Each structure stands twice: as C-alpha cells, then as structure tokens.
Structure 1
Amino acid sequence: MLTSHTIKNFFSGTNKLERLWLMAKIEFKLRYYENNLGLLWALLKPLMDVAIYYMVFKVILKSDIPAFASFLFIGLILWNFFIESTSGTIQILQTKKYLYEYSNMNKLEIYLSTLMSNTIGFFFNLIMFIIFLNFIESDMMGLSLLNFWIVPLFLNLFILSLAMSLILSCIYVVAKDITQIWQVFTSGLFFLSPIFYKLSLFKQALPSFEYANPIAGIIINARRVMMENNLPDLELLVFDFGYAIFLLFVGFILLNKLGAKAAEKL
C-alpha cells in the first residue's frame, strides 16, 4: 500500500528521533532569534492576542463568560498551533527541497520536525496559560489530575495538523492557489469555532457543528479538562480522532502520489 511505503521509509534508518528533535530545536531557535525580542516573542504574541480580543469581546461587547481571559487564552494557543502548522507548511516541499533531494531525509521527517518546533512554542504558551489560570484568575478551581487530559487532546491536534499539512502541501505541488483558498477557509473557520463564544450560544446557533469542526471539539474539550475540571466529552474526542486519522491516511496517499513529483514540478 502507498501509505505503508511512506511509513516504512520513515522508520528505516537510525537516530530518527534524535535527528527530528535536533532539527525542531534549530528551527525553533532560528524562528525567534532573528527577532529583537528573541524567545520572549513566543510568549508575548499569545498574550497580545488575548489582550486585543479581551478588549473587543469583554470590554466593548460585554461578554459575560467567567474567566474570559483564560477562556480566550486556551482557545487561541490551540488555534495558533493549528494555523502555524498548516499555513506555515503549505510550501514546505519547495522551501525545504534541498533536505530531501540532497540528503537521506524522508519527506515525513521534514513535516514532523516543523510541527515539533511548533510544539515547543505551544508548551511554552501552555505553561503561561496554567500560571495565568491558577495564579491570576482568582475564581478558578486550581490544578487537577484531569488536566493531564490535555496530552491526548494535543496529540489529536498534532495528528490533525500533520494531516492537513500533508494534504495542503501536496495540493500546492499541482495547484498553488491552495494558499489563498486556505487563508480564506481558515478565516471563516476561526469565527465558526468557539474561541470567543459561550458553548451554549455556539450550540444554539450551530447545533451539532462541533462534530463537523474538529478544531471546535478540541477547544471545547480542552476547556473542560483545564478550566472546568471535568472529563472530556469522550464521544466528541472519538469523532475528532476519527477525523484526524482519516485525514492523515489521505495525506499519506497524496504524499506518495504527488510528493514524489514535487522536486521536478516545483
């Protein structure tokens, strides 16, 4: 099968994890060390996003959601990881062509190292969120073992982001307009996800839409386990993993069919 060929190539060889981790660290450092603020920017950006949306939705539109800053914070860091990992990799087969043409690197390693680099940034932001939630939001319940559910939820997000990265970058090989199409699509999806809205209001306006939008489901469950000290909605979690695994399968097929021709077409 096409997908088994991709996976077999990935697992062949030695020191894969060590090489992936090294590449991820290098990419993460290069991304922020070129800025004057350095790694501090990785922490400041989500806080600035929260401040802007807090001003709009809490101060101006008078949202009555409790702990609204934390409510925004967790939604935005999940969303930003998804956007950085998909929009940022659409042209990856072109921009990192030298890695798979002139070295023994498997194409899948290039995607994984990029997403792992984004993962480092995500966990910086998650730590900031936990500190903010537990030491600044005075009306929250504090840390709980249920918070560890964020790990499988993030794994779900990682698989979904990897899947969309594979699909979008392979489509880019034959249709470069996918960059603009994805920008428009994600702009709409941003406002069709419960990043700013109460869950009850979101469900009332878009009944069962959380099952059609895997990002919505991940955000909903992340708030349940991190802010409400509840178990995740397991039915929603199963749906979201199902989406992610199916799309990853599609991504592997496209990587074998179109990714193999990337060097000659780009």
Structure 2
Amino acid sequence: MRNSLSELWRYRDLARLLVAKELKLRYRRSVLGFAWTMLNPLLTMIILSAVFAHVLRVQVEHFPVFVLSALLPWNFFAQSVVGGSLTIVHNESLLRNVRVPRAIFPVALVTSHLVNLLLALVPLLLVMMVLGVPPKPGLIALPYCLLALWTFTTGVVLVLSTWTVFFRDVAQIVEVFLTALFYLTPVIYPLSMLPERTRAVFRLNPVLYFVEPFRQMFYEGRIPAATDLAIAGGLAIASLALGLAVFRRREHLFLHYLS
C-alpha cells in the first residue's frame, strides 16, 4: 500500500491535470457550468422538503438543513462510484499510450467529485444562515470527515473500476445497488426514528459512518462521537488497502481485456 501511495504522489501534478480535465468535461457545453454543483443539491433539497415536510408531514425542524447535510456526502459517494466504475474503460486510449500509474485515473475522478462536494457546501451554509442555523464548533471535525470519506470512496472505486474491466455488467449492477443503499442510509430520515433493533442492523451499512457525521456537524452542531469517527477511519483505511490490493493484482490484465 505504501509503495502504491508513493507512486501516486510522484505523479501528483498529472493527477491535478486529470482532475481539471474531469471538471471541464463534466460541465462542457453547459450554460450554467460549475453553478450546477450548487444548484443540483439545492433543487433536490427543495423537492425533498416539499414532499417530506409538506406532503408527508415529516416533523423535523429545519428540514432543508437536515436533508442537505446528509445528501451532499451521499451524492459525492454515489456519483464517484457510478463514474469511477467506468474510469479505466473510459481511459483506455491513455492507458495504451501513456506510461503512468493506472490507479491515478480512478483517484483523479474521485478527487474531482471532492471538489464538487466542497463547492456544494457553500449553498448548505447559505441555507443554514437563512434558516437561522449558525455554524457551530462541531465543524472542526470536517477536514477529518472529508478525508475519511474520500479515502473510503477511493477504495470502493478502485475495486469497482477493476471489476468493470472484466465484467461490464458491474456498472449497471452498481446503479441498482446504490438505489437500494440510498434508502438504507439515513439521508432523508433520522436514524433515531427506527426501532433500536432495526437501528442496529442499519449500522452494519458502512456508508452510514460517513454520512451521519456531516449531519451531526452541520445540523446538530456537534462533533461526531469519537467511536464513530474511529470506525469511519478504520473503514476508510481498510477500503483503500483493499482497493489498492485488488487493483494492483489485476491491472496487468487491463489492456488485454480492453482490446
């Protein structure tokens, strides 16, 4: 793992270029461009607020902040996984013509989505100000939570991008799985509304440990529990180690299966 990370660090300038390329391609020929990074979660928040707070009468104070604080990290994870599963396939020509660490492509893609997440935090803070929910000292844990989320997601993407080279159905399966996982992750509902026994089952979902801390920091205004932060850190390191191991073990076969 250390050798893989050192190799990627040596190519950090190329990684920055790939991140910039991903961002430009994502908003190419778009009238609003990067503004969509902030508009998309805002529009989703408005729809969810209208449905859950007004139609279904869900009683949650400051519901827009409640849902947006969890929706942003979820969107980062889901969009990274969907796009990342195909990143090796989509970069076949570069893999054939440029000698660089192959893992740099999924890493750059996840990092480009991290940039989007950072930009999307701006409208969240604005909504908080409008609704009278001031930022609190709990946000001191934000850098750690962002790093843990990025690390965990990168590991998942490394595994899926490897599998997709050999089985193209993986990309479609991932999209279906993420739909189910969305409802199994407390994004649009509080975990506390579930019965204690059900809550224990939901805590087996690793994504929960990366979504809940954002809600606790932004909505509840508190630092996440040390136990939950430790679990998130452990899951992140394990995910990255597994992802790099799977990727390095199979990457020598990529060009053969991409042909």
- Please confirm whether the aligned pair reaches a TM-score higher than 0.5, indicating the same fold: yes
Q: Percent identity?
A: 22
**8 Å contact 1:93–1:259 — kept in the other structure?**
no
* SS at structure 2 position matched to 1:104: coil
- 2:4 corresponds to which residue? 6
For residue 109 of structure 1, the aligned residue among 104, 108, 120 is 104
- 1:173 corresponds to which residue? 165
- 1:218 corresponds to which residue? 210
**1:242 alignment partner AA:** G
In structure 2, distance between residues paired with 1:143 and 1:157: 21
TM-score by length of 1: 0.90
**8 Å contact 1:33–1:39 — kept in the other structure?**
no
In structure 2, distance between residues paired with 1:150 and 1:210: 23
In structure 2, distance between residues paired with 1:264 and 1:62: 55
For residue 187 of structure 2, the aligned residue among 179, 189, 195 is 195
- 1:158 corresponds to which residue? 150
Q: Does 1:246 align with 2:238?
A: yes
In structure 2, distance between residues paired with 1:235 and 1:109: 32
In structure 1, distance between residues paired with 2:164 and 2:70: 28
CA deviation string 1:219-249 (max 9, x = no partner): 2211212222212111112112222221221
Give the 3 Å change call, closer, same or farther, for CA 147–101 of structure 1 in structure 2. same
Any stretches of 5+ residues in structure 1 without a counterpart? none
In structure 2, distance between residues paired with 1:176 and 1:17: 29
Give the 3 Å change call, closer, same or farther, for CA 185–63 of structure 1 in structure 2. same
Shift of 1:161: 0.8
TM-score by length of 2: 0.92
- 1:237 corresponds to which residue? 229
> Root-mean-square deviation (CA), in Å?
1.8
Shift of 1:208: 2.0
CA deviation string 1:57-91 (max 9, x = no partner): 11111011111001111111111100111110111
- 1:136 corresponds to which residue? 130
Q: Does 1:81 align with 2:73?
A: no
In structure 1, distance between residues paired with 2:154 and 2:195: 28
Tell which deviates more after alignment, 247-256 or 82-91.
247-256
* SS at structure 2 position matched to 1:136: helix
For residue 65 of structure 1, the aligned residue among 60, 63, 78 is 60
- 1:40 corresponds to which residue? 35
* SS at structure 2 position matched to 1:76: helix
In structure 2, distance between residues paired with 1:30 and 1:247: 28
After the TM superposition, list the runs of 4 or more consecutive aligned residues in structure 1 that deviate by more than 6 angstroms: none
Any stretches of 5+ residues in structure 2 without a counterpart? none
In structure 2, distance between residues paired with 1:96 and 1:187: 26
**8 Å contact 1:50–1:69 — kept in the other structure?**
yes
**2:52 alignment partner AA:** F
